[in-house]
Structure 1
Amino acid sequence: MTCPSYHPPDEMLMAYGTGSLDEASSLLIATHLTLCRRCRIEVERIEAMGGGLLDSLAPESLSEGALARVMTRLDGPPARSRPPQTAAVAGMPAPLWPYIAGGVDALPWRRVGPGIQQVFVASGPIARARMLRVAPGVVIPQHGHAAGEMTMVLRGGFADAGQTFEIGDIEVAGPETIHRPASDPEEGCLCLAVTDGPLRLTGLLGRLLNPFLDL
Protein backbone atom coordinates (compact mmCIF):
# COMPACT_ATOMS: atom_id res chain seq x y z
CA MET A 1 0.00 0.00 0.00
CA THR A 2 1.24 3.48 -0.89
CA CYS A 3 2.10 5.68 2.08
CA PRO A 4 -0.37 8.55 2.56
CA SER A 5 0.65 11.91 1.15
CA TYR A 6 -1.08 14.11 3.73
CA HIS A 7 -0.41 13.72 7.44
CA PRO A 8 -1.60 15.07 10.81
CA PRO A 9 0.21 18.10 12.28
CA ASP A 10 3.40 17.39 14.22
CA GLU A 11 1.83 18.68 17.43
CA MET A 12 -0.92 16.07 17.11
CA LEU A 13 1.64 13.28 16.79
CA MET A 14 3.47 14.68 19.81
CA ALA A 15 0.29 14.77 21.89
CA TYR A 16 -0.60 11.23 20.82
CA GLY A 17 2.88 9.93 21.61
CA THR A 18 2.77 11.46 25.09
CA GLY A 19 -0.76 10.22 25.80
CA SER A 20 -2.29 13.68 26.16
CA LEU A 21 -4.68 13.60 23.19
CA ASP A 22 -8.48 13.37 23.57
CA GLU A 23 -10.33 10.18 22.58
CA ALA A 24 -11.75 11.41 19.27
CA SER A 25 -8.42 12.78 18.01
CA SER A 26 -6.56 9.72 19.31
CA LEU A 27 -8.89 7.50 17.31
CA LEU A 28 -8.10 9.37 14.10
CA ILE A 29 -4.33 9.39 14.73
CA ALA A 30 -4.28 5.69 15.66
CA THR A 31 -6.22 4.87 12.50
CA HIS A 32 -3.81 6.90 10.38
CA LEU A 33 -0.81 5.17 11.98
CA THR A 34 -2.02 1.76 10.78
CA LEU A 35 -1.69 3.06 7.22
CA CYS A 36 1.32 5.38 7.49
CA ARG A 37 4.81 4.03 8.22
CA ARG A 38 6.30 7.52 8.28
CA CYS A 39 4.07 8.70 11.12
CA ARG A 40 4.46 5.40 13.02
CA ILE A 41 8.22 5.93 13.05
CA GLU A 42 7.76 9.49 14.33
CA VAL A 43 5.43 8.39 17.15
CA GLU A 44 7.87 5.61 18.12
CA ARG A 45 10.61 8.25 18.30
CA ILE A 46 8.45 10.44 20.55
CA GLU A 47 7.60 7.51 22.83
CA ALA A 48 11.26 6.50 23.05
CA MET A 49 12.22 10.06 23.92
CA GLY A 50 9.64 10.06 26.72
CA GLY A 51 10.95 6.74 28.01
CA GLY A 52 14.47 8.15 28.02
CA LEU A 53 13.35 11.10 30.12
CA LEU A 54 11.77 8.75 32.66
CA ASP A 55 14.96 6.70 32.85
CA SER A 56 16.94 9.86 33.60
CA LEU A 57 14.86 10.73 36.67
CA ALA A 58 16.36 10.03 40.07
CA PRO A 59 14.66 7.08 41.84
CA GLU A 60 12.30 7.85 44.71
CA SER A 61 12.40 5.82 47.92
CA LEU A 62 9.30 3.78 48.76
CA SER A 63 7.32 4.43 51.91
CA GLU A 64 7.43 1.79 54.64
CA GLY A 65 5.19 -1.18 53.80
CA ALA A 66 4.61 -0.11 50.17
CA LEU A 67 6.01 -3.33 48.70
CA ALA A 68 3.89 -5.48 51.02
CA ARG A 69 0.73 -3.61 50.01
CA VAL A 70 1.48 -4.07 46.32
CA MET A 71 2.10 -7.80 46.76
CA THR A 72 -1.17 -8.17 48.68
CA ARG A 73 -3.10 -6.53 45.85
CA LEU A 74 -1.40 -8.74 43.26
CA ASP A 75 -2.42 -11.86 45.21
CA GLY A 76 -6.05 -10.74 45.43
CA PRO A 77 -8.83 -11.14 42.85
CA PRO A 78 -8.67 -8.96 39.73
CA ALA A 79 -10.40 -5.60 40.04
CA ARG A 80 -12.34 -6.23 36.84
CA SER A 81 -12.44 -8.74 34.05
CA ARG A 82 -10.80 -8.00 30.74
CA PRO A 83 -13.18 -6.63 28.09
CA PRO A 84 -14.15 -9.09 25.37
CA GLN A 85 -11.98 -9.04 22.29
CA THR A 86 -13.43 -6.87 19.55
CA ALA A 87 -14.32 -8.68 16.35
CA ALA A 88 -12.50 -7.61 13.22
CA VAL A 89 -14.38 -5.46 10.72
CA ALA A 90 -13.38 -6.33 7.17
CA GLY A 91 -11.60 -3.57 5.30
CA MET A 92 -11.35 -1.22 8.28
CA PRO A 93 -8.23 -0.36 10.35
CA ALA A 94 -8.13 -2.10 13.74
CA PRO A 95 -8.42 1.07 15.92
CA LEU A 96 -11.92 1.58 14.51
CA TRP A 97 -13.23 -1.91 15.29
CA PRO A 98 -14.58 -1.17 18.80
CA TYR A 99 -16.48 1.83 17.43
CA ILE A 100 -18.10 0.13 14.44
CA ALA A 101 -18.98 -3.33 15.77
CA GLY A 102 -21.19 -5.13 13.30
CA GLY A 103 -19.68 -3.36 10.32
CA VAL A 104 -20.01 -0.04 8.54
CA ASP A 105 -23.41 -0.80 7.01
CA ALA A 106 -24.88 -1.64 10.44
CA LEU A 107 -24.14 1.82 11.87
CA PRO A 108 -27.10 4.16 12.56
CA TRP A 109 -26.40 6.45 9.63
CA ARG A 110 -28.29 9.75 9.46
CA ARG A 111 -28.85 11.66 6.24
CA VAL A 112 -27.56 15.23 6.44
CA GLY A 113 -27.83 16.18 2.78
CA PRO A 114 -28.27 14.73 -0.71
CA GLY A 115 -25.89 11.78 -0.94
CA ILE A 116 -24.33 12.56 2.47
CA GLN A 117 -24.69 10.48 5.66
CA GLN A 118 -22.97 10.74 9.02
CA VAL A 119 -22.77 8.90 12.32
CA PHE A 120 -20.93 10.00 15.47
CA VAL A 121 -18.60 7.34 16.86
CA ALA A 122 -16.74 9.13 19.69
CA SER A 123 -17.46 12.32 21.60
CA GLY A 124 -15.70 14.27 24.31
CA PRO A 125 -16.05 17.63 26.04
CA ILE A 126 -14.76 19.39 22.91
CA ALA A 127 -13.76 17.07 20.05
CA ARG A 128 -16.15 14.70 18.29
CA ALA A 129 -15.37 11.95 15.78
CA ARG A 130 -17.85 11.08 13.08
CA MET A 131 -17.87 8.87 10.04
CA LEU A 132 -19.05 10.44 6.81
CA ARG A 133 -20.34 8.43 3.87
CA VAL A 134 -20.62 10.42 0.65
CA ALA A 135 -22.01 9.07 -2.61
CA PRO A 136 -19.90 9.28 -5.79
CA GLY A 137 -19.53 12.72 -7.35
CA VAL A 138 -21.24 14.64 -4.54
CA VAL A 139 -20.02 18.17 -3.78
CA ILE A 140 -20.31 19.06 -0.09
CA PRO A 141 -22.03 22.44 0.35
CA GLN A 142 -19.60 25.29 0.94
CA HIS A 143 -18.88 25.61 4.64
CA GLY A 144 -16.48 26.90 7.25
CA HIS A 145 -15.46 25.74 10.70
CA ALA A 146 -15.95 27.17 14.17
CA ALA A 147 -12.64 25.54 15.16
CA GLY A 148 -10.44 22.80 13.70
CA GLU A 149 -11.27 19.75 11.60
CA MET A 150 -9.23 16.74 10.50
CA THR A 151 -10.71 14.44 7.87
CA MET A 152 -9.14 11.09 6.99
CA VAL A 153 -10.09 8.93 4.00
CA LEU A 154 -11.02 5.31 4.75
CA ARG A 155 -12.41 4.35 1.33
CA GLY A 156 -12.59 6.13 -1.99
CA GLY A 157 -11.39 9.70 -1.86
CA PHE A 158 -12.21 13.37 -2.33
CA ALA A 159 -10.81 16.50 -3.94
CA ASP A 160 -10.58 19.93 -2.35
CA ALA A 161 -8.87 23.16 -3.40
CA GLY A 162 -6.85 21.44 -6.12
CA GLN A 163 -5.66 18.59 -3.88
CA THR A 164 -6.73 14.95 -4.03
CA PHE A 165 -7.05 12.93 -0.83
CA GLU A 166 -6.94 9.15 -0.93
CA ILE A 167 -6.95 6.30 1.62
CA GLY A 168 -4.98 7.27 4.73
CA ASP A 169 -4.66 10.94 3.78
CA ILE A 170 -5.72 13.61 6.28
CA GLU A 171 -7.01 17.03 5.33
CA VAL A 172 -6.54 19.63 8.08
CA ALA A 173 -8.90 22.62 8.11
CA GLY A 174 -8.96 25.56 10.50
CA PRO A 175 -11.35 28.39 11.38
CA GLU A 176 -10.11 30.32 8.37
CA THR A 177 -10.95 27.51 5.91
CA ILE A 178 -13.94 27.89 3.58
CA HIS A 179 -14.24 24.98 1.16
CA ARG A 180 -16.41 22.65 -0.97
CA PRO A 181 -14.89 19.14 -1.03
CA ALA A 182 -16.09 16.79 -3.78
CA SER A 183 -16.18 13.02 -3.40
CA ASP A 184 -14.53 10.68 -5.89
CA PRO A 185 -16.78 10.45 -8.97
CA GLU A 186 -16.57 6.64 -9.08
CA GLU A 187 -16.07 5.38 -5.52
CA GLY A 188 -17.47 8.17 -3.41
CA CYS A 189 -15.86 8.59 -0.02
CA LEU A 190 -15.97 7.05 3.44
CA CYS A 191 -14.17 9.30 5.92
CA LEU A 192 -13.40 9.65 9.60
CA ALA A 193 -13.62 13.30 10.65
CA VAL A 194 -12.77 14.94 13.97
CA THR A 195 -14.02 18.44 14.76
CA ASP A 196 -13.41 20.77 17.70
CA GLY A 197 -16.52 22.80 16.91
CA PRO A 198 -19.53 22.78 14.58
CA LEU A 199 -19.38 23.19 10.82
CA ARG A 200 -21.08 26.28 9.47
CA LEU A 201 -22.68 26.35 6.03
CA THR A 202 -22.12 29.65 4.25
CA GLY A 203 -24.48 31.73 2.13
CA LEU A 204 -28.03 32.79 2.92
CA LEU A 205 -29.54 29.30 2.72
CA GLY A 206 -26.71 27.85 4.79
CA ARG A 207 -27.18 30.40 7.54
CA LEU A 208 -30.89 29.56 7.64
CA LEU A 209 -30.19 25.82 7.88
CA ASN A 210 -27.32 25.90 10.40
CA PRO A 211 -29.54 25.98 13.54
CA PHE A 212 -31.26 22.77 12.41
CA LEU A 213 -28.19 20.76 11.44
CA ASP A 214 -25.98 18.77 13.81
CA LEU A 215 -22.70 19.24 11.97
Structure 2
Amino acid sequence: MKKIKHHLTEPLLIGYAAGTLPEAFNLVVATHISMCDTCRAALAEYDAVGGEVMLDSDPVEVAEDALSATLALIDSGKLSESSAPIRTQGSVFPGPLQDYVSGDLDSLKWRKVGGGVSQLILSTSDDATVRLLRIPAGTAVPDHGHRGTELTLVLQGAFTDDEDRFGAGDVEVANEDLNHTPVAEAGMDCICLAATDAPLRFTGLVPRIAQRFIGI
Protein backbone atom coordinates (compact mmCIF):
# COMPACT_ATOMS: atom_id res chain seq x y z
CA MET A 1 0.00 0.00 0.00
CA LYS A 2 1.24 3.49 -0.86
CA LYS A 3 1.81 6.03 1.89
CA ILE A 4 -1.43 7.46 3.28
CA LYS A 5 -1.60 11.21 2.70
CA HIS A 6 -5.08 12.17 3.89
CA HIS A 7 -5.89 11.53 7.54
CA LEU A 8 -8.74 11.95 10.01
CA THR A 9 -9.28 15.36 11.54
CA GLU A 10 -8.63 16.04 15.21
CA PRO A 11 -12.36 16.48 16.02
CA LEU A 12 -13.12 13.08 14.47
CA LEU A 13 -10.39 11.35 16.49
CA ILE A 14 -11.51 13.07 19.69
CA GLY A 15 -15.14 12.18 19.00
CA TYR A 16 -14.21 8.56 18.34
CA ALA A 17 -12.16 8.36 21.54
CA ALA A 18 -15.00 9.95 23.52
CA GLY A 19 -17.68 7.76 21.94
CA THR A 20 -19.74 10.68 20.63
CA LEU A 21 -19.76 9.91 16.88
CA PRO A 22 -22.64 8.21 15.04
CA GLU A 23 -22.12 4.50 14.43
CA ALA A 24 -21.67 5.11 10.69
CA PHE A 25 -18.83 7.56 11.32
CA ASN A 26 -17.33 5.25 13.94
CA LEU A 27 -17.13 2.52 11.31
CA VAL A 28 -15.26 4.72 8.83
CA VAL A 29 -12.92 6.00 11.56
CA ALA A 30 -12.20 2.50 12.91
CA THR A 31 -11.55 1.17 9.42
CA HIS A 32 -9.15 4.00 8.58
CA ILE A 33 -7.37 3.58 11.90
CA SER A 34 -6.85 -0.10 11.13
CA MET A 35 -5.02 0.96 7.94
CA CYS A 36 -3.12 4.04 9.21
CA ASP A 37 -0.24 4.02 11.70
CA THR A 38 -0.35 7.82 12.04
CA CYS A 39 -3.99 8.04 13.10
CA ARG A 40 -3.69 4.94 15.27
CA ALA A 41 -0.88 6.61 17.22
CA ALA A 42 -2.86 9.86 17.51
CA LEU A 43 -5.88 7.95 18.81
CA ALA A 44 -3.72 6.32 21.49
CA GLU A 45 -2.72 9.78 22.71
CA TYR A 46 -6.36 10.91 22.93
CA ASP A 47 -7.24 7.70 24.76
CA ALA A 48 -4.44 8.41 27.24
CA VAL A 49 -5.72 11.95 27.81
CA GLY A 50 -9.21 10.58 28.34
CA GLY A 51 -7.85 8.17 30.92
CA GLU A 52 -6.24 11.00 32.85
CA VAL A 53 -9.52 12.94 32.79
CA MET A 54 -11.33 9.92 34.19
CA LEU A 55 -8.80 9.63 37.02
CA ASP A 56 -9.56 13.23 38.03
CA SER A 57 -13.33 12.72 37.86
CA ASP A 58 -15.58 11.99 40.82
CA PRO A 59 -16.33 8.30 41.33
CA VAL A 60 -19.71 6.96 40.22
CA GLU A 61 -21.61 3.89 41.25
CA VAL A 62 -21.60 0.85 38.94
CA ALA A 63 -23.59 -2.36 38.97
CA GLU A 64 -22.47 -4.89 41.55
CA ASP A 65 -21.75 -7.48 38.86
CA ALA A 66 -19.84 -5.06 36.55
CA LEU A 67 -16.42 -6.59 37.27
CA SER A 68 -17.56 -10.19 36.91
CA ALA A 69 -19.44 -9.35 33.69
CA THR A 70 -16.35 -7.68 32.22
CA LEU A 71 -14.12 -10.61 33.18
CA ALA A 72 -16.61 -12.99 31.58
CA LEU A 73 -16.46 -11.01 28.33
CA ILE A 74 -12.67 -11.15 28.40
CA ASP A 75 -12.72 -14.90 28.98
CA SER A 76 -15.17 -15.38 26.11
CA GLY A 77 -12.85 -13.57 23.70
CA LYS A 78 -15.57 -11.11 22.66
CA LEU A 79 -13.47 -8.09 23.64
CA SER A 80 -10.80 -7.19 21.10
CA GLU A 81 -8.66 -4.20 20.15
CA SER A 82 -10.73 -2.71 17.34
CA SER A 83 -7.98 -0.33 16.24
CA ALA A 84 -5.46 -3.11 15.54
CA PRO A 85 -4.40 -3.40 11.89
CA ILE A 86 -6.35 -6.53 10.94
CA ARG A 87 -7.08 -7.61 7.37
CA THR A 88 -8.20 -11.02 6.19
CA GLN A 89 -5.80 -12.45 3.63
CA GLY A 90 -6.89 -11.44 0.15
CA SER A 91 -9.79 -9.28 1.36
CA VAL A 92 -10.26 -5.62 0.50
CA PHE A 93 -12.21 -5.20 3.75
CA PRO A 94 -10.15 -4.43 6.90
CA GLY A 95 -11.06 -6.07 10.20
CA PRO A 96 -13.51 -3.46 11.61
CA LEU A 97 -15.52 -3.57 8.38
CA GLN A 98 -15.78 -7.34 8.16
CA ASP A 99 -18.39 -7.48 10.93
CA TYR A 100 -20.67 -5.39 8.68
CA VAL A 101 -19.96 -7.13 5.37
CA SER A 102 -20.83 -10.76 4.70
CA GLY A 103 -18.79 -12.05 1.79
CA ASP A 104 -16.05 -10.86 -0.50
CA LEU A 105 -16.15 -8.04 -3.02
CA ASP A 106 -17.78 -9.94 -5.86
CA SER A 107 -20.34 -11.84 -3.77
CA LEU A 108 -21.97 -8.76 -2.23
CA LYS A 109 -25.46 -7.71 -3.32
CA TRP A 110 -24.50 -4.47 -5.05
CA ARG A 111 -27.26 -2.14 -6.20
CA LYS A 112 -26.81 -0.01 -9.31
CA VAL A 113 -27.26 3.71 -8.68
CA GLY A 114 -26.51 5.06 -12.16
CA GLY A 115 -23.53 5.73 -14.37
CA GLY A 116 -22.08 2.29 -13.66
CA VAL A 117 -21.67 3.08 -9.94
CA SER A 118 -22.97 0.52 -7.43
CA GLN A 119 -23.58 0.77 -3.70
CA LEU A 120 -24.31 -1.41 -0.70
CA ILE A 121 -25.90 0.29 2.29
CA LEU A 122 -24.67 -1.13 5.59
CA SER A 123 -26.88 -1.49 8.63
CA THR A 124 -26.09 1.04 11.40
CA SER A 125 -27.95 3.40 13.74
CA ASP A 126 -30.32 5.96 12.21
CA ASP A 127 -28.33 9.14 13.02
CA ALA A 128 -26.11 8.70 9.93
CA THR A 129 -25.74 6.31 7.00
CA VAL A 130 -22.77 4.38 5.64
CA ARG A 131 -22.37 2.55 2.36
CA LEU A 132 -19.83 0.77 0.21
CA LEU A 133 -19.39 2.33 -3.22
CA ARG A 134 -18.01 0.55 -6.26
CA ILE A 135 -16.97 3.03 -8.94
CA PRO A 136 -15.72 1.51 -12.21
CA ALA A 137 -12.28 2.64 -13.32
CA GLY A 138 -12.48 5.93 -15.21
CA THR A 139 -16.06 6.64 -14.08
CA ALA A 140 -17.15 9.93 -12.52
CA VAL A 141 -19.58 10.25 -9.63
CA PRO A 142 -22.15 13.00 -10.44
CA ASP A 143 -21.14 16.49 -9.32
CA HIS A 144 -22.48 17.16 -5.84
CA GLY A 145 -22.21 19.23 -2.70
CA HIS A 146 -23.00 18.40 0.93
CA ARG A 147 -25.68 19.37 3.41
CA GLY A 148 -23.64 17.96 6.28
CA THR A 149 -20.45 15.92 6.71
CA GLU A 150 -19.33 13.12 4.42
CA LEU A 151 -16.40 10.81 5.19
CA THR A 152 -15.07 8.84 2.22
CA LEU A 153 -12.41 6.20 2.84
CA VAL A 154 -10.72 4.52 -0.14
CA LEU A 155 -10.31 0.76 0.30
CA GLN A 156 -9.11 -0.08 -3.21
CA GLY A 157 -8.02 1.92 -6.24
CA ALA A 158 -8.10 5.71 -6.15
CA PHE A 159 -10.15 8.73 -7.14
CA THR A 160 -9.38 12.34 -7.92
CA ASP A 161 -11.51 15.44 -7.53
CA ASP A 162 -11.07 19.21 -7.48
CA GLU A 163 -9.25 18.91 -4.15
CA ASP A 164 -6.62 16.16 -4.58
CA ARG A 165 -5.95 12.49 -5.25
CA PHE A 166 -7.17 9.90 -2.75
CA GLY A 167 -5.67 6.41 -2.79
CA ALA A 168 -6.09 3.31 -0.64
CA GLY A 169 -6.22 4.28 3.04
CA ASP A 170 -6.85 7.98 2.36
CA VAL A 171 -9.96 9.58 3.81
CA GLU A 172 -11.66 12.70 2.45
CA VAL A 173 -13.61 14.78 4.98
CA ALA A 174 -16.19 16.89 3.12
CA ASN A 175 -18.58 19.51 4.47
CA GLU A 176 -21.00 22.14 3.17
CA ASP A 177 -18.14 24.13 1.61
CA LEU A 178 -17.07 21.36 -0.80
CA ASN A 179 -18.63 20.78 -4.20
CA HIS A 180 -16.82 18.16 -6.28
CA THR A 181 -16.92 15.48 -8.98
CA PRO A 182 -14.93 12.43 -7.87
CA VAL A 183 -13.48 10.38 -10.76
CA ALA A 184 -12.12 6.85 -10.29
CA GLU A 185 -8.64 6.41 -11.72
CA ALA A 186 -8.09 4.09 -14.67
CA GLY A 187 -6.84 0.56 -14.14
CA MET A 188 -8.92 -0.61 -11.15
CA ASP A 189 -12.40 -0.16 -9.77
CA CYS A 190 -12.44 2.26 -6.84
CA ILE A 191 -14.00 0.78 -3.70
CA CYS A 192 -14.93 3.32 -1.02
CA LEU A 193 -16.59 3.34 2.38
CA ALA A 194 -18.65 6.52 2.70
CA ALA A 195 -20.64 7.86 5.66
CA THR A 196 -22.99 10.86 5.62
CA ASP A 197 -25.12 12.57 8.25
CA ALA A 198 -27.28 14.42 5.71
CA PRO A 199 -28.34 13.86 2.07
CA LEU A 200 -25.95 14.97 -0.67
CA ARG A 201 -26.79 17.98 -2.83
CA PHE A 202 -26.60 16.91 -6.48
CA THR A 203 -26.20 19.49 -9.22
CA GLY A 204 -27.76 17.61 -12.15
CA LEU A 205 -31.48 16.98 -12.60
CA VAL A 206 -31.25 13.22 -13.19
CA PRO A 207 -29.20 12.51 -10.03
CA ARG A 208 -31.62 14.68 -8.03
CA ILE A 209 -34.59 12.63 -9.29
CA ALA A 210 -32.79 9.34 -8.61
CA GLN A 211 -31.71 10.44 -5.13
CA ARG A 212 -35.07 9.60 -3.52
CA PHE A 213 -34.72 5.99 -4.69
CA ILE A 214 -31.05 5.35 -3.87
CA GLY A 215 -31.02 6.93 -0.41
CA ILE A 216 -27.84 8.97 -0.63
Number of the residue aligned with 1:160:
161
| Counterpart contact for 1:200–1:206, Cα < 8 Å | no
- Written as runs of structure 1 = structure 2, the 5 A alignment for 1:18-33 is 18-33=18-33
| Counterpart contact for 2:157–2:191, Cα < 8 Å | yes
Q: Bigger CA drift: 48-57 or 149-158?
A: 48-57
Instruction: Please state if 1:10 is matched with 2:10.
Output: yes
Output the amino acid matched with 1:140: V
Taking a change above 3 Å as real, the CA distance of residues 3 and 18 of structure 1, as seen in their structure-2 partners, is: farther
Q: Work out the CA distance in 2 between the residues paired with 1:164 and 1:180.
A: 12
| Counterpart contact for 1:158–1:188, Cα < 8 Å | no
Taking a change above 3 Å as real, the CA distance of residues 115 and 8 of structure 1, as seen in their structure-2 partners, is: same
Q: Work out the CA distance in 2 between the residues paired with 1:57 and 1:143.
A: 45
TM-score scaled by length of structure 2: 0.83
- Written as runs of structure 1 = structure 2, the 5 A alignment for 1:36-55 is 36-55=36-55
Gaps of 5+ in 1: none
Shift in Å at residue 33 of structure 1? 0.7
Shift in Å at residue 117 of structure 1? 0.3
Q: Work out the CA distance in 2 between the residues paired with 1:58 and 1:173.
A: 38
Instruction: Please state if 1:138 is matched with 2:177.
Output: no
| Counterpart contact for 2:142–2:204, Cα < 8 Å | no
Q: Secondary structure at the match of 2:118?
A: strand
- Written as runs of structure 1 = structure 2, the 5 A alignment for 1:1-215 is 1-57=1-57, 69-70=64-65, 74=68, 88=88, 90-91=90-91, 92-215=93-216
Output the amino acid matched with 1:118: Q
Q: Work out the CA distance in 1 between the residues paired with 2:210 and 2:57.
A: 56
TM-score scaled by length of structure 1: 0.83
Which of structures 1 and 2 has the bigger CA Rg?
1
Shift in Å at residue 162 of structure 1? 4.8
Q: Secondary structure at the match of 1:99?
A: coil
Q: Work out the CA distance in 2 between the residues paired with 1:188 and 1:2.
A: 17
Q: Secondary structure at the match of 2:169?
A: coil
Q: Work out the CA distance in 2 between the residues paired with 1:97 and 1:208.
A: 33
Taking a change above 3 Å as real, the CA distance of residues 97 and 213 of structure 1, as seen in their structure-2 partners, is: closer
Shift in Å at residue 18 of structure 1? 1.5
Q: How many residues align?
A: 204
Q: Bigger CA drift: 180-189 or 170-179?
A: 170-179
| Counterpart contact for 1:35–1:168, Cα < 8 Å | yes
Q: Work out the CA distance in 2 between the residues paired with 1:89 and 1:122.
A: 24
Output the amino acid matched with 1:129: V
Identity of matched residues, %: 35
Q: Work out the CA distance in 1 between the residues paired with 2:212 and 2:25.
A: 25
Q: Work out the CA distance in 1 between the residues paired with 2:173 and 2:203.
A: 19
Taking a change above 3 Å as real, the CA distance of residues 204 and 54 of structure 1, as seen in their structure-2 partners, is: closer
Q: Secondary structure at the match of 2:123?
A: strand
